[in-house]
Structure 1
Amino acid sequence: MRRRFAVLASVVATVGSTALAVTALPAPSAQAETGIVDVADRSVAELGELLADGEVTSRGLVDAYLRRIEAQDPDLGAILTLNPRARAEAVRLDAERARGELRGPLHGVPVVVKDNMDTHDLPTTSGSLALRGMRPPDDATQIARLREAGALVLAKTNLHEYAMSIYTESSLGGQTRNPYDAARHPGGSSGGSAVAVAASLAPAALGTDTCGSVRIPAAHTNLVGVRPTLGLSSRDGVAPLAGTQDTVGPLTTSVEDAALLLDATVGHDPADPVTEAALGRVPDSYLDGLDRPALTGARVGVVTDYFDTGGRAPDTNALVRRAIDDMAAQGAEPVELGPLPDVMVAAAGANRVRHEFERDLDAYLAESARGRPLRLAHLAEPRDRLTLADLAASGEVIPSVLSTLRAWVDSPALPNPEYDETLRQRDRLRALLTGLMAEHDLDALVYPSISEPPTPIGVEQSYRNCRLAAYSGFPAVSVPAGFTADGLPVGVELLGLPFSEPDLLALAHDYEQATGHRTPPGH
């Protein structure tokens, strides 16, 4: 990759509308019909087996998913841009397979990616009309690694504009809707990625998580979502919110699939110096050990502070408590932690986004936008390059996000005393979490991924449960915990020490296999 981390030409785009309609896809040829299977709720692992056995081709999978997108996405709004070369790329990958040139378990599997990750062959817009013409010069490291592993990027997905909140609404893509109840939001900001996987528009996706943006939509759409340890996965070529909090992680229908995506994407990247911490910390495969009885003898600390009382929190609490009971039935020992110390609560408020956003976004735009779109770069000083100030001046952003962008233009230079204090609080939180787990001999913390089921569109909800992992940089996994009486998904989250992903995934897999809560929409 050519950048350092400082911090489709759409097939169907209707630029300027509030949604991108996916219609009038060319009909597959009779030859392409051969090998098409029902892809509804098929996992990456299952598709890999079908491809290996010759029961389906990558081209057949692409056609099957395009049909589902055409039929379902107009009502969901998950997809921003389709890859117009997807079929041709699938044919190439099928030819490689026929020659015995396999790149790995993802070879020929279509995936979707959040539209704040650079793709050299597709627009990267952060969901914003202001950036509708932006075409980065190369792929983000995560995208490049997916492609090197043989995965095929089928589409870019909607997000809450600039990844700014948890409801997945953008000026370019409109409101993404929850496939379990279209009147409710899907969580965010990676809601488009989550909805695409939950509705079987793709078998897996990548999202980003600054404070819950993978885990919240996973919980709201009955998926597995992983926020990796800060430093495990590269952010090179990813539009930032805050460089000391941003991570990239998978959204999948199973823990096994999450492990497959992590295998393909994590590890040291010279373009993102924070990933030096991953050197020597990446296992041969995150699949190793998934089938062991990981919950037997495990001690899980129940974060009672994160069980709220307002709104529909009791519905979530009941399901997460049942999840903890199920873990105990598998041999785990729950440890009720009681109220968190005041000093930890204070440290778990050390959000750096408003401090870092302008600095990090301007650095990203300098590399990925290279001054384009030209119609914006002159709107504010400096007149010769694209910056946050230009985006704010354009007005081509949903009102709620636009007000934030304008408020953060000309942010105080870093470092400064207030920012330095947030970094001290981050370090304190890391030390306190480490000490808490050592004191109680814990393998993981457990709590609701988000305190309520998905609220109706336009109704806000608290997302403070994202903080322990996000502000410390520790890893966390959200896994389905079941459904409320009216069919709304709930997630339970497991948090571990840095680079404990192998153990967290094993715990989540053991729970997942014992409970089987993954159920596709409409079932």
Structure 2
Amino acid sequence: NARLGVVRNAYGSNDDTESAEVNQIIDSALEQAKSAGAELIDVEIPDMMEHITETSLYGSHSRHDINEFLASRENMPIKSLEEIKEKGLFHPVLDLLIDIFEGPVNPEDEPDYFKKLAARDKFQRLVAGIVAKNNLDALVFPCIQILPPSKQDVRDGKHQVLTFPTNTLIASQTWMPSICLPAGFSKNGLPVGMELVVLPYHEPDLFRLGY
């Protein structure tokens, strides 16, 4: 009797063969859930990508947090991101790491930091409102919109971290509990994940539904 809100605008385009196969696998898994007694309700998160962009804080936090982590470990051979950058101890395709190198030393030093914090609360209220309005037990969507790329695809620049079509940011940037479940496999045996998201502090529901 679970009511699952299927976030349709978190799916990739069916015109893309990679995302089309992911969509088919997710919908097949949802049909199994429906057969087991779940009710599926199609929903959309308005202006989803704009909200994700406005609430992105990992660029603000990562340099400070990673440096703090490295410095706190006595046996760590590297003590800071600055040392990694100076010694060139990173792969040049790691665009996210290169972006983090340029982040603020302290998160609060970024001019838009507190604006992004406020935007995160607004984003959470929007998504929680969709759950409440439709009387849902959880939201569901593909963890990632495309099939997993090969290492060579990444090295060839086919995909970059900062533009990779992942949906895991929805839960992390609304501070809502989530779990990624195995949904099935592609024709070539690549795994596809399905994400469930519930209201804050509803972790028991998350584990029950995930199970």
Shorter chain as denominator, the TM-score bin is: 0.7 to 0.9
Q: 2:41 aligns with which of 324, 332, 335?
A: 335
Matching residue's letter, 2:97: T
- Residues matched between the structures, number: 199
Shift of the alpha carbon at 1:329? Answer: 1.1
Shift of the alpha carbon at 1:410? Answer: 6.3
Matching residue's letter, 2:69: Y
Aligned to 1:503: 205
Shift of the alpha carbon at 1:319? Answer: 1.2
SS at match of 2:114: helix
Q: Does 1:458 align with 2:152?
A: yes
Quote the Cα distance in structure 1 between the aligned partners of 2:99 and 2:45.
36
Shift of the alpha carbon at 1:332? Answer: 1.0
Post-superposition Cα deviations, 1:53-73, rounded to whole Å, max 9, x if no partner, equal xxxxxxxxxxxxxxxxxxxxx
Post-superposition Cα deviations, 1:333-379, rounded to whole Å, max 9, x if no partner, equal 11011x4212x442222221111112112222232247x53xx6xxx
Aligned to 2:21: 315
Q: Does 1:361 align with 2:76?
A: no
Post-superposition Cα deviations, 1:254-281, rounded to whole Å, max 9, x if no partner, equal xxxxxxxxxxxxxxxxxxxxxxxxxxxx
Conserved in 2, the CA contact under 8 Å of 1:299 and 1:441?
Answer: yes
Aligned to 2:32: 326
Shift of the alpha carbon at 1:455? Answer: 2.3
Quote the Cα distance in structure 1 between the aligned partners of 2:6 and 2:143.
12
Structure 1 moving runs of 4+ over 6 Å:
none
Aligned to 2:9: 305
Q: Does 1:471 align with 2:165?
A: no
Quote the Cα distance in structure 2 between the aligned partners of 1:410 and 1:325.
44
Unaligned stretches of 5+ residues in structure 1: 1-296, 377-385, 510-523
Shift of the alpha carbon at 1:406? Answer: 7.4
Post-superposition Cα deviations, 1:139-195, rounded to whole Å, max 9, x if no partner, equal xxxxxxxxxxxxxxxxxxxxxxxxxxxxxxxxxxxxxxxxxxxxxxxxxxxxxxxxx
Quote the Cα distance in structure 2 between the aligned partners of 1:402 and 1:320.
29
Aligned to 2:83: 390
Conserved in 2, the CA contact under 8 Å of 1:388 and 1:405?
Answer: no
Quote the Cα distance in structure 2 between the aligned partners of 1:304 and 1:442.
15
Post-superposition Cα deviations, 1:471-492, rounded to whole Å, max 9, x if no partner, equal 1121111112222233222221
Matching residue's letter, 1:397: F
Matching residue's letter, 2:72: E
Matching residue's letter, 2:125: A
Conserved in 1, the CA contact under 8 Å of 2:19 and 2:145?
Answer: yes
Quote the Cα distance in structure 2 between the aligned partners of 1:441 and 1:406.
40
The structure with more radius of gyration: 1
Quote the Cα distance in structure 1 between the aligned partners of 2:206 and 2:96.
38
SS at match of 2:140: strand
Matching residue's letter, 2:85: A
Conserved in 1, the CA contact under 8 Å of 2:51 and 2:119?
Answer: yes
Identity of aligned residues (%): 29
Quote the Cα distance in structure 1 between the aligned partners of 2:112 and 2:37.
45
Q: Higher relative contact order at CA 8 Å, sep ≥6: structure 1 or structure 2? A: 2
Conserved in 2, the CA contact under 8 Å of 1:389 and 1:409?
Answer: no
Shift of the alpha carbon at 1:403? Answer: 8.1
Q: Go from structure 1 to structure 2 and tell me whether the alpha carbon gap of 1:487 and 1:362 turns closer, same or farther (over 3 Å shift).
A: closer
Unaligned stretches of 5+ residues in structure 2: 154-158
SS at match of 2:94: helix
Q: Go from structure 1 to structure 2 and tell me whether the alpha carbon gap of 1:334 and 1:358 turns closer, same or farther (over 3 Å shift).
A: same
- What aligned pairs does 1:11-90 form with structure 2 within 5 A after superposition? none
Q: Go from structure 1 to structure 2 and tell me whether the alpha carbon gap of 1:348 and 1:407 turns closer, same or farther (over 3 Å shift).
A: closer
Quote the Cα distance in structure 2 between the aligned partners of 1:406 and 1:393.
15
- What aligned pairs does 1:356-505 form with structure 2 within 5 A after superposition? 356-369=61-74, 373=77, 386-401=79-94, 404-405=97-98, 408-409=101-102, 411=104, 413-415=106-108, 416-459=110-153, 460=159, 462-505=164-207
Aligned to 1:286: none
Shift of the alpha carbon at 1:407? Answer: 6.0
Conserved in 2, the CA contact under 8 Å of 1:445 and 1:494?
Answer: yes
Shift of the alpha carbon at 1:412? Answer: 5.9
Please identify which structure carries the higher helix content. 2
Shift of the alpha carbon at 1:413? Answer: 4.2
Quote the Cα distance in structure 1 between the aligned partners of 2:103 and 2:22.
41
User: What is the alpha-carbon root mean square deviation over aligned residues?
Assistant: 2.3
Quote the Cα distance in structure 2 between the aligned partners of 1:488 and 1:347.
30
Shift of the alpha carbon at 1:404? Answer: 3.2
Aligned to 1:352: 57
Matching residue's letter, 1:360: D
Q: Go from structure 1 to structure 2 and tell me whether the alpha carbon gap of 1:503 and 1:397 turns closer, same or farther (over 3 Å shift).
A: same
Q: Go from structure 1 to structure 2 and tell me whether the alpha carbon gap of 1:439 and 1:458 turns closer, same or farther (over 3 Å shift).
A: same
Q: Go from structure 1 to structure 2 and tell me whether the alpha carbon gap of 1:435 and 1:363 turns closer, same or farther (over 3 Å shift).
A: same
Q: Go from structure 1 to structure 2 and tell me whether the alpha carbon gap of 1:356 and 1:410 turns closer, same or farther (over 3 Å shift).
A: closer
Conserved in 2, the CA contact under 8 Å of 1:479 and 1:493?
Answer: yes
Conserved in 2, the CA contact under 8 Å of 1:392 and 1:402?
Answer: no
Conserved in 1, the CA contact under 8 Å of 2:60 and 2:103?
Answer: no
